[in-house]
Structure 1
Amino acid sequence: MGIHISTARDAGGNSGGRHSLGNSALVGNVLKLLERTEYRRCETGEDLEAIYRLRYKAYRPHGFVTDSNARMVKDSLDELPNSHCFGIFIDNRLVATVRLHQIDRENPHGPVTKGFGDVMMPMIEQGASCINPSMFAADPELNKDYRVLPYVALRLVIVGYSWFRSTYCACLIRQEHTAFYRRIFGAREMAPPRSYPPISIPLMLYGGVCAKEFGPIVTRFPFFLSTRAEQKMLFAPREPGATTPLTVLPTAKYQLNAA
Structure 2
Amino acid sequence: MYSGPTKISSFSRNISDLLEHIEYRRCESGEDLEAIYRLRYKAYYLNGFLPETREQKMSDDFDETSNSYKFGVFIDDNLVCTVRIHHLSPEEPYAPAMTTFGDVLKPRLDRGESFINPTLLAADPELVASYKALPYVTLRLGLLASVHFDATACIGVIREEHTAFYRRVFGAIQVGEPRPYPPFTVPVMLYDANVAANRNWILRRFPFFHSAAAERRMLFAKPRKGELAPLTILPTAKYFHDAA
* TM-score tier after normalising by the smaller chain length: over 0.9
Preserved contact between residue 222 and residue 229 of structure 2 (Cα < 8 Å): no
Contact 1:19/1:219 (<8 A) preserved: no
Q: What does residue 16 of structure 2 align with?
A: 31
Candidates 206, 221, 225, aligned match of 2:191: 206
Q: Report whether the alignment pairs 1:149 with 2:111.
A: no
C-alpha RMSD of the superposition? 1.1
Structure 1 alignment gaps of length 5 or more: 1-14
Amino acid at match of 2:219: L
What is the TM-score with the length of structure 1 in the denominator?
0.92
Matched, 1:170 2:155: yes
Q: 2:6 aligns with which of 15, 20, 27?
A: 20
Q: Would you say 1:69 and 2:54 are equivalent positions?
A: yes
Which residue, out of 35, 42, 45, partners 2:30? 45
Question: How many positions carry a matched residue from both structures?
Answer: 244
Deviation readout 1:99-118 (Å, 9 max, x if unpaired): 10000111001011111001
Give the letter for the 2:6 counterpart: S
Could you say which residue in structure 1 is the equivalent of 2:112? Answer: 127
Q: How far apart, CA to CA, are the structure 2 residues paired with 1:125 and 1:16?
A: 32
Unaligned residue ranges in structure 2 (runs of 5+): none
Per the TM alignment, residue 19 of structure 1 is displaced from its structure 2 partner at its CA by 4.5
* Preserved contact between residue 21 and residue 222 of structure 1 (Cα < 8 Å): no
Per-residue CA deviation, residues 44-78 of structure 1 (Å, 9 max, x unaligned), is 13222111100011010121111110001111111
Moved over 2 A (4+): 19-22, 255-259
Q: How does 1:52-91 map to 2 (within 5 A)?
A: 52-91=37-76
| Residue 225 (structure 1) aligned with residue 217 (structure 2) | no
Aligned equivalents of 2:83, 2:230: Cα separation in 1: 18
The answer to whether the 8 A contact 2:5-2:243 is kept is: no
Percent identical across equivalent pairs? Answer: 50
Residue 204 of structure 1 and its aligned partner are, at CA, apart by 0.6
Cα deviations by residue, 1:1-58 (Å, 9 ceiling, x for unpaired): xxxxxxxxxxxxxx32224334x22101100100000000010132221111000110
- Range moving further from structure 2, 216-225 or 205-214: 205-214
| Length-normalised TM-score, structure 2 | 0.97
Contact 1:21 1:220 (8 Å CA) reproduced: no
Q: Residue 212 of structure 1 aligns to which amino acid in structure 2? A: A
Q: What's the secondary structure of 1:200's corresponding residue? A: coil
Would you say the 8 A contact 2:85–2:116 is kept in 1? yes
The answer as to 2:95 corresponding to 1:110 is: yes
